[in-house]
Chain A
Amino acid sequence: KAGVTQTPRYLIKTRGQQVTLSCSPISGHRSVSWYQQTPGQGLQFLFEYFSETQRNKGNFPGRFSGRQFSNSRSEMNVSTLELGDSALYLCASSPGTSGGYTGELFFGEGSRLTVL
């Protein structure tokens, strides 16, 4: 099976711009979670989507949003970028169902965002 794929891998934006990141989960996985990784804060949960619905949300401002499509692919969007949004954004997928639950998340390589 192909792993979790994230695009783009690297991008540079300026303050005030917006950005959209994409994640394709492992085939058959219906849950997609997003995490922000920074040197200061470590890995922080952004949100989780399951069957096109947001199932969980972390403590991030409303500038951070996401969505999931019927094929389980997910996008996250950050509007009005700030310098502090510079980070590695990781996507993770899992089956997402009680029957398929193991607790294991399968991570992508991440999208590294730099805000200038």
Chain B
Amino acid sequence: EAGVVQSPRYKIIEKKQPVAFWCNPISGHNTLYWYRQNLGQGPELLIRYENEEAVDDSQLPKDRFSAERLKGVDSTLKIQPAELGDSAVYLCASTPTGKRAYEQYFGPGTRLTVT
């Protein structure tokens, strides 16, 4: 089966510009996560979706970040406007329901560079 798909893999933008990342989770996975990973650190959760509902967005910087998962399948994370400190890898992950709900599958990430 296909894994978690993310695009683009790399993005370079100037500060104050908008940027969007797309994620398509594994088919049938109802839970979707967005993480941010700074250089040399572990991933940090930004938002978690159960189907189309954002059940935890407490760590999402809402002044400039937004996310959506309109049909409960693929998801988009947006930053507007981007700041230099937003340079990081943005990871998407999904988990299945049922007995294997403990397994979290990550995509390859989008590496964002803000100049």
A, B co-complexed: no
Measuring CB to CB, which residues of chain B are less than 8 angstroms from any residue of chain A? none
